[in-house]
Amino acid sequence: MKASFEIFRYRPGEKKRFDTFQIELSSHATVLDALKLIQETVDPSLIYRHSCHHGSCGTCSCIINGVERLACLTKVTELSEAVVRVEPLRRMPRIGDIAVDPSPLFLEIDPRWSYLRQSETSRLSAVKAVSVQSHDPNADHVTARHISLERVRFESCIECGSCVSACPVGEDFMGPAVLALLNRERIKRPEQAPILLKRAGGNTGVSRCERALNCSRVCPTGVNPARHIMDLRRALGRNTT
């Protein structure tokens, strides 16, 4: 299948522009596959970020036809427009072409905030395990070693920057990703809640949110930052009354 791409080109000190590419792709191809093909066969100077190719690392987030998406999970055939327009994320310093420096995302994240969380499936498994047990009166006790350990998984937020780019609030805002991670930390470590809430209640915190909800709309992993911001706002309300 033939596909047309308009790709944002940028180098420090140069005028930005869009370059057009016509390439032949398979029907399964993602936008990331297309970028790779263009870079390998047409223009080796094309710069873009990528790593995992399955939506876990968050490096390939960019603006595809006006919407923040992960290039690795966006199939070209799923896009309705005739030309696929690829641009770098907003609100991040540009490295070159599609690649941005995601540093602004991390400046307000306390390095002590844990990236691990309890796995929800643990609870699901426990429910199912009980039902297995109840069907079998002779079921022996499961050794503590294998189930008593809390099952963990990584936080859902892959720190891709999509929400930050899509948020209409500009400067002086911690941003949706940081507030979502802050709220997750508050849930995981209640003893830290007062300090965390104080941060969220500061000048650059939740009060700056304009409730556009773009963050939750573009989040590729369903973090729903807007809901976390709402949670924080509610908790702050309780604290002040």
Partner 1 sequence: MKKIRVAVIGGGGTGAALAHDLVLRGFQCTLLERGELTSGTTGRHHGQLHCGARYAVGDARIATECMAENITLRKIAPEAIEFNGGLFLALSAEDEEYCAPFLSACEAAGIPAELLTSRRALMIEPELNPSLRFAVWIPDGTMDAWRLPLHFFATARHNGADIRSFSEVVGISIESGRASGVVVRDIRENQHYTLSADYIVNAAGVWAKEVSTLAGVDLPLRPSPGTMAAVQGRLSERVISRLRPPGDGDTVVPQRTLSIIGTTGGVSKTPEEREIPESDVDFLLSEADALIPAFSGARLHAVWSASRPLAAGGNEENDRLISRDFLCIDHEKDNGIGGFVSIVGGKATVLRAMAERVVDLICEKSGTHIPCSTKEVKLLSHRSFYA
- The residue from 7, 59, 175, 176 that contacts partner 1 (CB under 8 A) is 59
For partner 1, give the closer residue by CB, 220 or 233: 220
The yes or no reply on residue 115 touching partner 1 (CB under 8 A) is: yes
Nearest to 69 by CA among 107, 23, 32: 32
CA distance 122 to 128: 10
Give the residues across from 5 on adjacent strands. Answer: 21, 84
The yes or no reply on residue 171 touching partner 1 (CB under 8 A) is: no
Name the CA dihedral angle for 225, 227, 233, 234, rounded to a multiple of 10 degrees: -160
CA distance 72 to 65: 15
The yes or no reply on residue 23 touching partner 1 (CB under 8 A) is: no
The yes or no reply on residue 118 touching partner 1 (CB under 8 A) is: no
212-232 exposure pattern, b = at least 16 Cβ within 10 A, e = fewer: ebbbbebbbeebbbbebbbbb
The yes or no reply on residue 42 touching partner 1 (CB under 8 A) is: no
Q: In the window 65-104, what residues touch partner 1 (CB under 8 A)?
A: 72-73, 95-96, 99, 101-103
Residues that bind partner 1 (CB under 8 A): 11-12, 26, 28, 36, 44-45, 47-59, 72-73, 95-96, 99, 101-103, 105-107, 109, 111, 114-116, 119-122, 124-125, 128-129, 132-133, 136, 139-140, 142-143, 145-147, 149, 151-154, 156, 159, 221
